[in-house]
A and B are shown apart, each in its own frame.
Chain A
Amino acid sequence: MKRILVLFLVLIFITSITNFALPAEQKVIKLNAMGWVQAEWPLKELAAQYEKLHPDIKIVYEDVGIDLKKYQQLVKEGKFEWNAILGGWPASDTAPGFISGMFQPMDTYVKKSKEKDAPLILKDMISSVLAESKFRGRALSSLPITIDIDALLYRKDILKAVGYEKPPATNWNDINTLAEKIAGAFKPRGIWSISTSIIPFHRGPAAIQQTFTKKPFLPNGLVDVTGDGMIKTMLLLKSWIDKGLSMPDSMWYPFPGDAYAEPYLKGQYAMFVYQHSAGIWAYQTIGKENSGLTRLPKDIAGGTVFWSTPAYLYKDAPYPQEAVDFLIWAFGPSNEFTWKKIFESGKLPPYRTPYALAKNNPDWAWALDMLAVLEEATPIPNTTNFGAQLGIIRPWAEKYLSGQIKDPLEAMKGAKKELDKQLSKLIFK
Chain B
Amino acid sequence: MRKNFNLNFLYIVPALLFIFVFNLWPIIWGVVLAFMDFRGITLTGKWVGLENFKELLNDERVWQGLSVSVKYVLYSYPFTQILALISGWTIAQLRIIKFGKFYRILLYLPVIIPVSAGMTMFRALYEQNGYLNIMFLKLGLPAVGWLTDPKVALYSLAIASIWRNFGASMFYYLVGFYNVPLEVKESALIDGASLWRRFWSIDLPSIKNMLFIIFIQSAGALTGGLAEVTALTGGGPARATSILPYYSAEISIWGEQRLGYAAAINLFLSIFTLILASMVIRLVKVEKE
Binding site for B on A (CB under 8 A): 68-69, 72, 96, 99-100, 199, 247-250, 252-254, 256, 268, 384-385, 387-388, 391, 394-396, 398-399, 402, 404, 422, 425-428
Contacts and interface: CB of A to CB of B under 8 A. Distances in A.
22 contacts: A72-B43, A96-B41, A96-B256, A99-B42, A249-B237, A250-B148, A253-B128, A253-B147, A254-B232, A254-B234, A384-B255, A385-B255, A387-B255, A388-B255, A395-B235, A398-B150, A398-B238, A402-B149, A402-B237, A422-B255, A425-B256, A428-B42
A68 B147 CA distance: 36
A302 B149 CA distance: 33
Secondary structure at the B interface, as helix, strand, loop or mixed, is loop
Interface of B: 37, 39-43, 120, 123, 127-129, 143, 145, 147-150, 231-239, 242, 250, 253-256, 258, 261
A391 B43 contact: no
A72 B242 CA distance: 34
A100 B41 contact: yes
Given A253-B128, A387-B253, A388-B255, A428 B41 contact: yes
A349 to B, nearest CB: 31
B128 to A, nearest CB: 6
A399 B254 contact: no
Given A248-B145, A249-B149, A395 B254 contact: no
A247 B148 CA distance: 12
Nearest to B250: A391
B145 A394 contact: no
Nearest to A386: B255
A425 B145 contact: no
Contact of B231 (A96, A99, A256, A384): A256
A253 B127 CA distance: 8
Nearest to B127: A253
Contacts of A249: 128, 145, 148-149, 237
Given A99-B42, A249-B148, A250-B128, A428 B256 contact: yes
Those 8 A-B pairs whose CB atoms lie nearest each other, nearest first: A249-B148, A388-B254, A398-B238, A388-B255, A249-B145, A385-B255, A395-B239, A399-B238
Nearest to B37: A427
A387 B251 CA distance: 11
